[in-house]
């Protein structure tokens, strides 16, 4: 696609369009400095984004290996592994994936890399703090992995006491410490992004002209700032009880185990939105770009994002309907959980409506994005079974729950992550990947994913409980199907590793704006120069004016700049 066929619409472009052929001549953020110090001591948000990408990918592969062991065990009703090993595997999978992959991935990689570019800033507000966040994350992560490899932990990622505080003979305290440390990275990244979005927007970049990805990361950062401290307190309490025997959660010591669940989910439910909101943000960028349309209902999407971020804080009790939280709390939490489903539904409707009368092309990011909408919808809709006090009685703590949250986390967050990765890859690396392989891996992931998790909904209805190392023989067929699907899924996940790395060396050189997108990040060369913008851009219209030609956009801006 040539740049000429694209309707550019920002003043910035018309003022100082980047000289495409010369872009390579001036140094970019990748080649302006060499040596390990230039990476490990960098304060460039783009390089830090890449550091996150490397480490997040590493953690993802570890989490995947543990998931592979889980699916392997479940091939046979009596289990292929010792129960002890199995319990360590599903715990490792949950802990690594949640704390070291799902939560930091999109904010850490794309948030870091693109928030400054998208708001027209030279870096995040606190570049050194940003580097510190990465180091804290790595220390926490390394500590966690050490604890997992060195004896492991068998409490599940939920760490429920009194099992975790007195019964489990495994590395609960080290893992608690690792979660505690990693939490600070999350808080500091959130702080950095919030300040950046408030203080460092380019002239003309009003709140209602922010790209929706920025809104999503902004909302996510608010959640991280407000909820992560609660997690920190919770794991500290847990560690204190475990190490000193002071009773907080253990009823044998006058503690209350349900208190832990309240505290844990007060963080961990919002954490679900820390994971999914950024992915939703990516989808907005990709859908508008590949359908050449304005987002349908920009403000509805913004308010649903903020609505989700806020409402996410008041539904934590839906994890404890059957844990004795009481009748009235259960009522309220059930109601609020239905309530929080509304903005998610609104988003899906808005995305669908965005495609209306578009001019749609199916490049790899778009395939991921459409896949995201469909799979996320299944994830969201099946949540309604669990927010419902009636059906939850039967489905709670069964494989139905496992399938539901994997649809949200994998079908949602991971597909959103891949959509963003393929969308921004040319910008990040300056290279194009092989489109055919990218599409093929997208399809493989979706097929493998569906075979893995659709059977689990049904297993859950049949009554198979979560976290079982061995199970009743009648559940075997569906489990084998699920394990078979997971191997396909794994193949789908591994493929990008190859064709993306291949593209680094052999890929076509990317133009500054291969998709003809409107975002400010595309107005820089690919890869961007070390300081992002030579000249501070001036923004005169909303983020998704795909329907206007640059002249029309300019005329409209002069007429009063309504977005």
Partner 1 sequence: MIFAQIPLPTPRASSQGAEIDDIILATTLVTGLAFVLVTAVLITFCFLYRRRSEDERTPRILGSTVIEIIWTTIPFLIFIAFFVWGIKIFQVHLTPPDDAMEINVVGKQWMWKVQHPEGEREINSLHIPVNRAIKINLTSEDVIHDFGIPAFRNKIDAVPGRTMSTWYYPTEVGVYHIFCDQYCGQGHSAMVGKVYVMEQKDYEEWSKAHAEGSLALEGRKLFLKLQCISCHSNNSGARAPVLEEIYKKRVPLQGGGEVIADDSYIRESILYPLKKVHEGWQPIMPSFLGQVSEDDLVKVIAYIKSLRRGDIPVRTEQFYPPIGAPTQRTEVQSPKTNTENSAPKESVPKNTPKESAPKGGK
Q: Which of residues 268-287 bind Cu ion (CB under 5 A)?
A: 269
Give just the sign of the alpha carbon dihedral 150, 156, 162, 163. negative
Q: Which stretch binds partner 1 (CB under 8 A): 80-88, 177-185, 438-446, 518-526?
A: 80-88
The 210-249 contact track toward Cu ion, x by CB under 5 A, reads ----------------------------------------
Question: What is the rounded distance in angstroms from the CA atom of residue 125 to the CA atom of residue 8?
Answer: 28
Residue with tokens 């709670």: 396
Nearer of residues 112 and 165 to partner 1, judged by Cβ? 165
296 binds partner 1 (CB under 8 A): yes
Select the residue interacting with partner 1 from 10, 201, 242, 292 (CB under 8 A): 292
98 binds partner 1 (CB under 8 A): no
Select the residue interacting with partner 1 from 357, 477, 506, 551 (CB under 8 A): 357
237 binds partner 1 (CB under 8 A): no
The 509-538 contact track toward Cu ion, x by CB under 5 A, reads ------------------------------
Nearer of residues 124 and 147 to partner 1, judged by Cβ? 147
Question: What is the rounded distance in angstroms from the CA atom of residue 266 to the CA atom of residue 274?
Answer: 13
Question: What is the rounded distance in angstroms from the CA atom of residue 73 to the CA atom of residue 90?
Answer: 10
Enumerate residues 59-98 that contact Cu ion by CB under 5 A: none
The 434-463 contact track toward partner 1, x by CB under 8 A, reads ------------------------x--xxx
CB of 138 vs partner 1, minimal distance in Å:
29
CB 206, CB 220: distance < 8 Å: no
349 binds partner 1 (CB under 8 A): yes
Residue with tokens 């440390």: 181
The token pair that represents 206 in the structure block: 């009003």
Contacts of 110 (CB under 8 A, 6+ apart): 49, 213, 217, 278, 282, 420, 424
Nearer of residues 72 and 335 to partner 1, judged by Cβ? 335
462 upstream amide cis, omega within 30 of 0: no
Q: Which stretch binds Cu ion (CB under 5 A): 167-175, 205-213, 261-269, 417-425?
A: 261-269
The three-state secondary structure class of 398 is strand
Choose from partner 1, Cu ion, none: what does 143 bind? Cβ within 5-8 Å by kind.
none
What are the two backbone dihedrals, phi and then psi, of residue 159, each rounded to the nearest 5 degrees?
A: 55, 35
Nearer of residues 389 and 432 to partner 1, judged by Cβ? 389
Nearer of residues 109 and 348 to partner 1, judged by Cβ? 348
Choose from Cu ion, partner 1, none: what does 28 bind? Cβ within 5-8 Å by kind.
none
| Closest among 420, 308, 372, 375 to 52, alpha carbons compared | 420
Q: Which stretch binds partner 1 (CB under 8 A): 144-152, 207-215, 224-232, 465-473?
A: 465-473
Q: Which stretch binds partner 1 (CB under 8 A): 19-27, 43-51, 139-147, 252-260?
A: 252-260
Nearer of residues 133 and 398 to partner 1, judged by Cβ? 398
199 CB-contact burial (10 Å; exposed 0-12 / middle 13-18 / buried 19+): exposed
Q: Which stretch binds Cu ion (CB under 5 A): 174-182, 190-198, 265-273, 531-539?
A: 265-273
Question: What is the rounded distance in angstroms from the CA atom of residue 212 to the CA atom of residue 298?
Answer: 8
Residue with tokens 């109601």: 335
CB 392, CB 315: distance < 8 Å: no
Enumerate residues 395-414 that contact Cu ion by CB under 5 A: none
314 binds partner 1 (CB under 8 A): no
- In sequence order, the β-bridge partners of residue 529 are 532
Nearer of residues 468 and 533 to partner 1, judged by Cβ? 468
CB of 391 vs partner 1, minimal distance in Å:
5
| Closest among 144, 156, 56 to 108, alpha carbons compared | 56
Enumerate residues 16-75 that contact partner 1 by CB under 8 A: none
Question: What is the rounded distance in angstroms from the CA atom of residue 102 to the CA atom of residue 522?
Answer: 26
245 binds partner 1 (CB under 8 A): no
Q: Which stretch binds partner 1 (CB under 8 A): 16-24, 63-71, 352-360, 417-425?
A: 352-360
Choose from Cu ion, partner 1, none: what does 269 bind? Cβ within 5-8 Å by kind.
Cu ion
Question: What is the rounded distance in angstroms from the CA atom of residue 331 to the CA atom of residue 190?
Answer: 32
| Closest among 329, 325, 182 to 259, alpha carbons compared | 325
The 155-194 contact track toward partner 1, x by CB under 8 A, reads xx-x-xxxx--xxx--------------------------
Select the residue interacting with partner 1 from 381, 447, 454, 538 (CB under 8 A): 381
Nearer of residues 46 and 292 to partner 1, judged by Cβ? 292
Q: What is the DSSP letter of 96?
A: I
137 binds partner 1 (CB under 8 A): no
What are the two backbone dihedrals, phi and then psi, of residue 529, each rounded to the nearest 5 degrees?
A: -75, 160
What are the two backbone dihedrals, phi and then psi, of residue 324, each rounded to the nearest 5 degrees?
A: 85, 35
The alpha carbon of residue 431 and the mean position of all alpha carbons in its chain are separated, in whole angstroms, by: 24
What would you report as the CA-atom Rg of the chain, rounded to the nearest whole angstrom? 23
Nearer of residues 207 and 349 to partner 1, judged by Cβ? 349
CB 112, CB 130: distance < 8 Å: yes
CB 35, CB 69: distance < 8 Å: no
Select the residue interacting with partner 1 from 353, 447, 480, 538 (CB under 8 A): 353
Q: What is the DSSP letter of 408?
A: I
Crossing angle of helices 435-462 and 364-387, rounded to 10° = 10
Nearer of residues 194 and 377 to partner 1, judged by Cβ? 377
Select the residue interacting with partner 1 from 213, 237, 321, 368 (CB under 8 A): 321
Residue ranges in contact with Cu ion by CB under 5 A: 269
């Amino acid at each position: 696609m040539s740049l000429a066929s694209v309707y550019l619409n920002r003043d910035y472009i018309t003022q100082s369009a980047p000289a495409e052929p010369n872009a390579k001549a001036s140094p970019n953020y990748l080649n302006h400095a060499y040596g390990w110090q230039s990476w490990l001591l960098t304060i460039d948000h783009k390089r830090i984004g890449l550091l996150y990408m490397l480490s997040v990918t590493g953690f993802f592969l570890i989490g995947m290996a543990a998931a592979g062991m889980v699916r392997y065990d479940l091939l046979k009703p009596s289990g292929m592994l010792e129960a002890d090993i199995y319990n360590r595997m599903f715990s490792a999978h949950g802990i690594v994936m949640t704390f070291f992959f799902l939560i930091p991935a999109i904010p850490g990689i794309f948030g870091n890399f693109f928030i400054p570019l998208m708001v027209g800033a030279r870096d995040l507000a606190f570049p050194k703090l940003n580097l510190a966040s990465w180091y804290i994350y790595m220390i926490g992560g390394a500590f966690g992995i050490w604890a997992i490899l060195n004896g492991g932990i068998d409490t599940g990622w939920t760490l429920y006491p009194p099992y975790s505080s007195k019964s489990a003979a495994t590395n609960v305290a080290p893992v608690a410490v690792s979660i505690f440390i990693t939490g600070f990275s999350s808080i500091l990244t959130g702080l950095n992004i919030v300040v950046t979005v408030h203080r460092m927007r380019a002239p003309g970049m009003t709140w209602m002209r922010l790209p929706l990805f920025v809104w999503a990361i902004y909302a996510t950062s608010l959640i991280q700032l407000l909820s992560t401290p609660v997690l920190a307190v919770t794991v500290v309490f847990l560690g204190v009880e475990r190490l000193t025997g002071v009773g907080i959660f253990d009823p044998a010591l006058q503690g209350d185990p349900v208190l832990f669940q309240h505290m844990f989910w007060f963080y961990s439910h919002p954490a679900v939105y820390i994971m999914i909101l950024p992915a939703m943000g990516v989808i907005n960028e990709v859908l508008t770009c590949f359908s050449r349309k304005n987002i349908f209902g920009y403000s509805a999407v913004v308010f649903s994002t903020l609505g989700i971020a806020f409402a996410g804080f008041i539904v934590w009790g839906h994890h404890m309907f059957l844990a004795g939280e009481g009748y009235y709390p259960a009522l309220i939490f059930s109601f609020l959980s239905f309530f929080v489903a509304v903005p998610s539904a609104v988003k899906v409707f808005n995305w669908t409506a965005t495609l209306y009368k578009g001019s749609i092309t199916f490049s790899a990011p778009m395939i991921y994005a459409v896949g995201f909408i469909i799979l996320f919808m299944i994830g969201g809709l099946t949540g309604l079974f669990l927010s419902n006090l009636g059906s939850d009685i039967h489905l709670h703590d069964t494989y139905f729950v496992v399938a539901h949250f994997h649809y949200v986390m994998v079908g949602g967050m991971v597909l959103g992550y891949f959509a963003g990765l393929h969308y921004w890859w040319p910008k990040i690396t300056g290279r194009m990947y092989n489109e055919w392989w990218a599409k093929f891996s997208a399809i493989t992931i979706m097929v493998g994913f569906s075979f893995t998790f659709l059977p689990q909904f049904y297993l859950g209805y049949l009554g198979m409980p979560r976290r079982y190392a061995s199970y009743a023989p009648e559940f075997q067929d569906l489990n084998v199907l699920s394990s078979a699907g997971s191997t396909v899924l794994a193949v789908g996940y591994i493929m990008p590793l190859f064709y993306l790395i291949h593209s680094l060396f052999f890929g076509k050189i990317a133009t500054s704006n291969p998709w003809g997108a409107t975002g400010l990040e595309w107005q820089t060369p690919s890869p961007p120069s070390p300081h992002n913008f030579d000249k501070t851009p001036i923004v005169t219209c909303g983020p998704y004016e795909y329907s206007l030609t640059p002249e029309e956009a300019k005329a409209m801006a002069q007429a009063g700049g309504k977005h």
